[in-house]
Structure 1
Amino acid sequence: MVDVPDSLPARMYLLAYDLNKQRMALSGERLGYLLRAAALTELYLDGRLTEERRRPKPDTPGDDPYGLLAQITASKPRSWKYWVRKDSRAMVRAVRDELADAGWIRVRPRRVLGVFPADQVSVRDPRVVKTLWGGASSALRGKPVAHVNSYDAAAVALAAAGELRTVLPRPDRRRHKRRIAELTARSGPAAPAVKKALADYWGAAAG
């Protein structure tokens, strides 16, 4: 049996790795939105966050590994989309460094076009990614939604909202639309917020 990381953001980072191309399928803000939403979803599923008037609200105290609970507690009420977008690039660095320190990935500095500094990420054991992908894939089929592992359900919901093609290519998102909606409803409000944040992102890019 292959071990996988415990945290949902770490799992989503690895699921964003394209084994065929041996590079990340997402980067920058788009990856950051996905990872922030994963952290919010983990807090929601664990009962440390609840929802009030369509906004996240701290509930049961507990671990806050990425500092989101502290941010939300110190702020006036804001939308889920706001918290998905906030500090998105810093979230990528935090999760990447966590995975590198724990030995899940290797990060090497490189230069794009020989000029621009960047990081080359590689997964140390491809079986970890395949195991996570298998869990997400099985969540789309078979057992009733209520019996699916909560993190596998969340992985599907987040991958669909974040347009993560390594998990859900566009044809699969269309084919399994109803099932994805059921898994999303079970996983909480953060995944739909990713979809809204991405709509803003693409709108800004087009403008």
Structure 2
Amino acid sequence: MEVPGSLPQRVFLLAYDPEKGRFRVGTNLGAMVRAAALADLYLDGRLTDENGRPAAADRRPGIDLVLATVLEEVASSRPRKWQSWIGRGQRATVSAVREQLSAGGWIRVEPRRILGLFPTTRVTLRDPRVRKNLLGRVSGALRDPVGRVDLADAALVAIVAAGELGVVLSRRARRDAKRRIQELTDLSGPVGPALRKQIAAEAAAAAGG
């Protein structure tokens, strides 16, 4: 099965823990998926960086609904920092990406109830080889000469590293590859640093109650 084309879909699949059969508690899924959408639009030239804020540069059709929605949000709003856009609309964006992956046959989505009372959704991968392919892209980006790394793969590494996604890059792996991760983050644009700031802000807000 082919790997999905958009960065938000790829991040969603990477965030899934196949050993536990779910997303780990505390995974920064919403922030990473929003960051992935912004990075996708930036790398495609549909967003540019203007003084630390995304600006719509190309609103032609030809992108999927999730990316088109995020692009329209930016285009129709007053200028905001990248971090602000990562923090907005996380739940809706994750739900839309999940629907895309389900419709495309990459995941199975099943409603269920915890203890027979609390509604939730069970997500399973239809073909584990797709996620393994994505893991290979991350490994390749960390290993290959920087000049040969696809920009989308560079952004993928920047996002999972900034999101501290341990099922892809452990704390030790992030530490050992710190210099390369920084190179890939610089290569992929302003989203990686903005994601780190947003996750820190969300952690501080949670700690403060």
Report how far residue 170 of structure 1 moved.
0.7
Distance 1:145 1:25, change over 3 A: farther
- The equivalent residue for 1:84 is 86
Distance 1:113 1:194 in 2: 35
Distance 2:125 2:10 in 1: 12
Q: Identify which of 115, 120, 123 aligns with 1:121.
A: 123
- The equivalent residue for 1:25 is 24
- The equivalent residue for 1:70 is 72
- The equivalent residue for 2:9 is 10
Q: Identify which of 134, 138, 141 aligns with 1:139.
A: 141
Distance 1:152 1:34 in 2: 14
Distance 1:146 1:199, change over 3 A: same
Count of residue pairs brought into register by the alignment: 204
Instruction: Report 1:46-195 matches (<5 A).
Output: 46-62=44-60, 63-64=62-63, 65-66=65-66, 67-141=69-143, 143-195=144-196
- Counterpart residue type for residue 102 of structure 2: A
SS at match of 1:51: strand
Report how far residue 127 of structure 1 moved.
0.4
Distance 1:50 1:26, change over 3 A: farther
Question: For structure 1, which segment, 118-127 or 192-201, has the greater mean C-alpha deviation from structure 2 after superposition?
Answer: 192-201
SS at match of 1:164: coil
Cα offsets for 1:125-173 (capped at 9, x unmatched): 00000000011111111x2212101221111100001111111111111
- Structure 1 length as normaliser, TM-score? 0.94
Cα offsets for 1:3-60 (capped at 9, x unmatched): 10011111110011112212123678x2111111101000100111110111001112
8 Å contact from structure 1 (residues 110, 118) kept in 2: yes
8 Å contact from structure 1 (residues 35, 92) kept in 2: yes
Q: Identify which of 36, 39, 46 aligns with 1:38.
A: 36
SS at match of 1:140: helix
Report how far residue 115 of structure 1 moved.
2.1
Report how far residue 191 of structure 1 moved.
1.8
- Counterpart residue type for residue 156 of structure 1: V
Uncovered stretches (5+) of structure 2, i.e. residues with no partner: none
- Structure 2 length as normaliser, TM-score? 0.93
Distance 1:26 1:16 in 2: 11
8 Å contact from structure 1 (residues 26, 164) kept in 2: no
Structure 1 consecutive aligned stretches of length 4 or more whose deviation exceeds 4 Å:
none
Distance 1:101 1:26, change over 3 A: farther
Distance 1:154 1:113 in 2: 39
Distance 1:27 1:61 in 2: 34
The CA RMSD measured in Å over matched residues stands at 1.4
8 Å contact from structure 1 (residues 105, 121) kept in 2: yes
